[in-house]
Structure 1
Amino acid sequence: MTKSKLKKKERIDQLFSTDVKIIQNKEVFSYSVDSVLLSRFPKFPSKGLIVDLCSGNGAVGLFASTQTKAKIIEIELQKRLANMAQRSIELNQLQNQVSMINDDLKNLMQYVPRSGVDLIICNPPYFKATKTSKKNLSEHYLLARHEIATNLKEICKVSQQALKTNGRLAIVHRPDRFLEIIATLQKYKLAPKRIQFVYPKLGKEANMLLIEAIKDGSADGLKILPPLIVHKDNGDYTDDVFEIYFGKKQAGKKGYMYVLKCSDNTLYTGYTTDIKKRVSTHNSGKGAKYTKARLPVELIYWEEFPTKEAAMRAESIFKQKTRAQKLNYIEEQKQKNSLL
């Protein structure tokens, strides 16, 4: 899929610890850190069936596909979001593993066998729909964030119907609803087993909560995991969260952000630890799918960083620029270096 096939204001983002790419639109829906953390929190079955409820643009289920060979069914009520997810499935060529259903999660039992699901993952609406609720003007965000189309009770009810005995439900939610979440899980015979509080920074109050529960499990064996802190004081990700986003750090290796001009005059940006080898790989047709159809490519700019991870961050930022902004940046950097 090329950018020409994206809809207006859509972009493609990537979780750099994987090859998975997600179609995003900040005016419609974009995944955030809660989706990323949820996709790495549960104990994934090696095979079987996984359901992603309230799947939005499909990010959680698609990221989860790298953790298991199980079939993954995503279900999303909003047609616009379901369409984005379906195109992301096709973009990643995951049609044999991941499928999207555009329907209300109340109808889940029409698509899966009763008591036949191994794991359900869900990033649900966090806020109750009351007269005093702070509503987002976007219809898409309104439904995604507020309990208008579904709620915690319905999610637990359908999970009880769909999960196998000892099947698991993993959700991300708000700490201020912790007691309600525990009570609702227990009402539907879903025993909480693993809980982790997530903090934006050290010394701040928790703003997220990850919970994994087991259907028909005993009340014993609950584990409170160590707190997960997202950001350091300077705003960078902590090592734990950095690894989730970018993979394990490779000590001692420099990284490079590079820009190629393709045969059709389009630009391609990437990162590597060996520029010469990487450009050669692209021109041999064994690099990215994008460059494979646009050979030969020419290296027009590169920038060195102390680590591969720093180069990955630079690549991510650079990709958000327009073509004109990219070319201006390259020219400015070249002029700056010529004065050194």
Structure 2
Amino acid sequence: MDMRRMAFRYKIIRFMPFAETAEFANIGVVAVSQDAGFFDYRLKLEAGKRVLNFFGNLDPDIYTFSVKRLAAELERIKRTAPNSGLQLSLFKSPDLEWSFDELTRPREGVFDFGSQRLFVCENLSEGLSVLFSYYVKRSFLSNAYREQILEREVRESLKSASLDNRFKPERLADGAYEVEFPFVEAEPKLGAGRVIKPLHLGQRDPTRIIDHGAKWRYAVERLRKHGKLNATDAVLFPVEGPTDASSENFAWRIEAYTETVDALRASDIQVVSVRDHDKIVEFAKTKHVSATEGIAEGRQLLNLKPRHG
């Protein structure tokens, strides 16, 4: 299906209660598209611990009162928009962009809207939610986002050794369970070949470190059990562990990390640091040997002939 890509202008809503320091916290996003008749926003209505801790002894009532007033104005403008942005409207509002510019112009107060930006997407409302998750909820700190960065690092290691073309993303499934690995050896002679999965094990909660490692250990064990990964298939997890030694529970996080790495290795999974370029390349270069090939090569080395029943 051909999906039309549309663009909208947006600004990040920043809460800045102390003009003297110019410190701010991202609390929302407001967007407009004149062509789509679209005006919408996402706003953090409650301050939460992160905002309150950032500004020290800030009275939470100041945040709540100010945000409620802003939300009322944003909602008033939104009601004048012809549609929600899910589809193009035949009617255009000449006032949306003016209202957007007027609302977000520099002025005294506890809110600042920063610079104007442009975002292109297929669904304006969903695109706005993506921006809110990124700038306010800080989705880039999630496991998935962090592991995307680690995957880029591994890809660069493979590319530097001209090995990147041998690996591709692939979903491995047993019918009831499936999981995607970012690096699976392409077209091996037998079996699924070598598998590489970068893993972030530096979460702030030690329990999450153990849970995340256990999830991927289970995936490998299950796929091997159901024949989707041969027992002899080599699996490498380049990992990143806790780094901020000043954190309050750093010792517990290190313990959880060490326990997790030991459990992965006990399940026949090779584990190296994601920064160990040489070991990653060495793993990728090593020829994959299936069980059948391994027996044949062993007999050849021992000069043995196959026995016939």
Query: TM-score scaled by structure 1?
Result: 0.25
Higher RCO (Cα < 8 Å, 6 or more apart) = 2
Q: Tell which structure's C-alpha radius of gyration is larger.
A: 2
TM-score normalised per structure 2? 0.26
Point out the structure with the larger helix share: 2
